[in-house]
């Protein structure tokens, strides 16, 4: 059933064209797309009777977040860890309107078209927000990659180090070259979990002369510092060097580093970009907002790989974001059950590595970012526009602009809340943010023109999960549709925006 009413969302504060501005957003009832954006507040009587008009001033209208890195784990036995229904519900709570699911942890992994179809069928009818899928590169599946591109995966992920799950083995240099060869003329993205064990002489230095085993934990296993020392920055720099060295195999294929943690990678990343290597990087909410110095021994809720590093390291990551060297921030939401996370004090080496964050990220980033002079326009760029670009959805997602899906987050930056289990909609209520007070709260989430979540009334259970599965080809922004209009624009613009000479909207036709 299609709603027949045009919807108008407005606020004195909206993020449009990379600026905070007053805006009035007109949404088609039939397509759920934005059909006009006025960079001013239009009075309700500008619109025909029956139009649904909502003015949220002074709350901020932002594009819905595109979380380009989540693990939803379904289908298979790890659905106990997370699933499409709970993971996407948690996303909607936090103003996230699109998530892209990683190819591992579900069984089977997304390494063939057959396996992708199993995942797509498992997702149908369960998703509260729109969901895209990545394919996986593992040893020996280079023959499956082009077919996965045709079927609509938004990119590929591989590991240069043990992934933690046996169905998704790490790739060798030769495997990377085969994957790059297969994908070199495709419109896709090849992403790397960039940690790799350096050769023994590099990894342990002089210690090898004394017979110490490389990487053997040197300290109590429940101590965070022991764990941190076991995943040094050298793992990340060594992996990055390998990726950059492989890049000439497929010079046109965009490469991407997932969850970059170590600042030691940044000079190498910069140099590669300056030399024309098509390589980008993301970091995660937890590397920006949490610090090794604050992690108590045994608090395995903080375990992830690469690890959360020292405060000085997170300062460097913030600087790299501000400079545009790192372009995206994602959750890497990767939960498990409490017993596997060893909640309540445990061995960092035995606990599952992964942090649950989906739906908390915007407030996490705002809480930390505003202390660092970062504004919501920057945050929106890193979590919506650039993540949409990363997964080939810019043009449809990631901006408030004409022709885009009306995926809108209504954010109140002036309110705070304490994270309790009621704010955790993911399946297993475990997160290092528990009991932390976060600034800024998502008041409403709109997906393709429909309100799917509101802080006051909760989720629209009557409508149920309305999320679509995003299996269309990757696209990039068509600049010609990304226009906005003001009443003072030229007569040509006035004609196209259905205004009469008095500046009143005569009719807003659903297209």
Chain positions contacting Zn ion, by CB under 5 A: 332
Please tell me whether residue 95 adopts helix, strand or coil conformation: coil
Centre a 10 Å sphere on the Cβ of residue 340 and count the other Cβ atoms it contains: 18
CB of 123 to Zn ion, least distance (A): 18
For residues 9 and 70, which CB has a smaller minimum distance to Zn ion in the complex? 70
For residues 24 and 73, which CB has a smaller minimum distance to Zn ion in the complex? 73
For residues 27 and 72, which CB has a smaller minimum distance to Zn ion in the complex? 72
Please check whether residue 282 is in contact with residue 329, taking contact to mean a CB–CB distance below 8 angstroms.
yes
Task: Specify the DSSP element, H or E, that contains 15.
Answer: strand 7-16
- Residue in 441, 371, 374, 372 with CA at minimum distance from that of residue 413: 441
CB of 334 to Zn ion, least distance (A): 5
Please tell me whether residue 469 adopts helix, strand or coil conformation: strand
CB of 468 to Zn ion, least distance (A): 23
CB of 71 to Zn ion, least distance (A): 6
For residues 74 and 332, which CB has a smaller minimum distance to Zn ion in the complex? 332
For residues 85 and 332, which CB has a smaller minimum distance to Zn ion in the complex? 332
Question: String of b and e for 96-120 (b: at least 16 CB within 10 Å)?
Answer: bbbbbbbbbbbbbbbbbeebbebbb
CB of 259 to Zn ion, least distance (A): 6
CB of 195 to Zn ion, least distance (A): 12
For residues 59 and 333, which CB has a smaller minimum distance to Zn ion in the complex? 333
Would you give the DSSP letter of residue 324? T
What phi and psi values does residue 85 have, to the nearest 5 degrees? -65, -50
Residue nearest to Zn ion (CB): 332
For residues 26 and 265, which CB has a smaller minimum distance to Zn ion in the complex? 265
CB of 330 to Zn ion, least distance (A): 9
Compute CA distances 357 → 298, 380, 450, whole Å.
20, 17, 24
CB of 134 to Zn ion, least distance (A): 10
Please check whether residue 136 is in contact with residue 111, taking contact to mean a CB–CB distance below 8 angstroms.
yes
Q: 33 - beta bridge partners?
A: 405
For residues 59 and 309, which CB has a smaller minimum distance to Zn ion in the complex? 309
CB of 192 to Zn ion, least distance (A): 11
Q: 296: burial class by Cβ within 10 Å (0-12, 13-18, 19+)? A: exposed
For residues 23 and 240, which CB has a smaller minimum distance to Zn ion in the complex? 240
Please check whether residue 451 is in contact with residue 409, taking contact to mean a CB–CB distance below 8 angstroms.
no
Rounded Cα distance between 437 and 414, Å, is: 13
Extended strands (E) in 227-367: 255-258, 279-284, 328-330
Rounded Cα distance between 179 and 171, Å, is: 10
Compute CA distances 32 → 4, 55, 130, 396, whole Å.
11, 18, 13, 11
For residues 332 and 407, which CB has a smaller minimum distance to Zn ion in the complex? 332
CB of 322 to Zn ion, least distance (A): 24
């Amino acid at each position: 059933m299609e709603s027949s009413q045009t919807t108008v969302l407005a606020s004195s504060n909206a993020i449009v064209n990379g600026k905070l501005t007053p805006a009035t957003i007109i949404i088609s009832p039939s397509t759920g797309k934005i059909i006009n954006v006025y960079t001013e507040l239009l009075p309700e009587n500008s619109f025909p009777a029956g139009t649904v008009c909502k003015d949220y001033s002074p709350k901020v209208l932002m594009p819905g977040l595109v979380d380009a890195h989540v693990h939803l784990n379904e289908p298979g036995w790890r659905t106990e860890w997370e699933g499409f229904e709970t993971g996407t519900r948690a996303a909607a709570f936090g103003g996230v309107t699109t998530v892209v699911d990683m190819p591992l942890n579900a069984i089977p992994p997304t390494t063939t078209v057959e396996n992708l179809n199993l995942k797509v069928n498992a997702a149908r009818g369960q998703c509260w927000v729109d969901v895209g899928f990545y394919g996986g590169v593992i040893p020996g599946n280079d023959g499956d990659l082009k077919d996965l591109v045709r079927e609509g995966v938004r990119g590929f992920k591989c590991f240069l180090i043990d992934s933690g799950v046996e169905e998704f083995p790490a790739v060798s240099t030769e495997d990377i070259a085969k994957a790059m060869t297969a994908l070199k003329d495709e419109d896709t993205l090849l992403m790397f979990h960039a940690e790799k064990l350096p050769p023994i002489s590099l990894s342990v230095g002089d210690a090898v002369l004394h017979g110490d085993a490389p990487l053997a934990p040197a300290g109590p296993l429940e101590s965070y510092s022991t764990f941190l020392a076991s995943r040094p920055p050298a793992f990340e720099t060594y992996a990055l060097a390998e990726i950059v060295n492989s890049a000439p195999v497929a010079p046109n294929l965009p490469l991407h580093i997932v969850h970059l943690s170590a600042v030691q990678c940044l000079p190498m990343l910069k140099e590669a970009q300056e030399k024309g290597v098509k390589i980008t990087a993301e970091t995660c909410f937890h590397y920006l907002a949490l610090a090794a110095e604050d992690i108590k021994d045994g608090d395995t809720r903080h375990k992830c790989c690469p690890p959360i590093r020292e405060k000085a390291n997170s300062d460097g990551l913030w600087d790299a974001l501000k400079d545009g060297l790192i372009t995206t921030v994602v959750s890497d939401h990767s939960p498990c059950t409490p017993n596997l996370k060893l909640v309540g004090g445990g061995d960092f080496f035995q606990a599952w590595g992964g942090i649950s964050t989906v739906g908390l990220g915007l407030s996490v980033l705002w809480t930390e970012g505003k202390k660092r002079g970062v504004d919501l326009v920057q945050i929106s760029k890193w979590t919506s526009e650039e993540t949409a670009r990363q997964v080939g959805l810019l043009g449809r997602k990631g901006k408030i602009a004409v022709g885009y899906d009306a995926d809108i987050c209504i954010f109140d930056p002036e309110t705070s809340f304490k994270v309790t289990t009621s704010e955790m909609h993911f399946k297993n209520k475990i997160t290092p943010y528990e009991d932390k007070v976060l600034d800024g709260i998502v008041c409403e989430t709109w997906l393709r023109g429909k309100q799917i979540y509101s802080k006051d009334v909760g989720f629209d259970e009557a409508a149920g999960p309305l999320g679509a599965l995003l299996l269309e080809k990757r696209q990039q922004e068509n600049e010609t549709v990304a226009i906005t209009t003001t009443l003072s624009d030229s007569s040509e613009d006035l004609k196209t925006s259905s205004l009469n000479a008095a500046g009143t909207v005569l009719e807003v036709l659903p297209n």
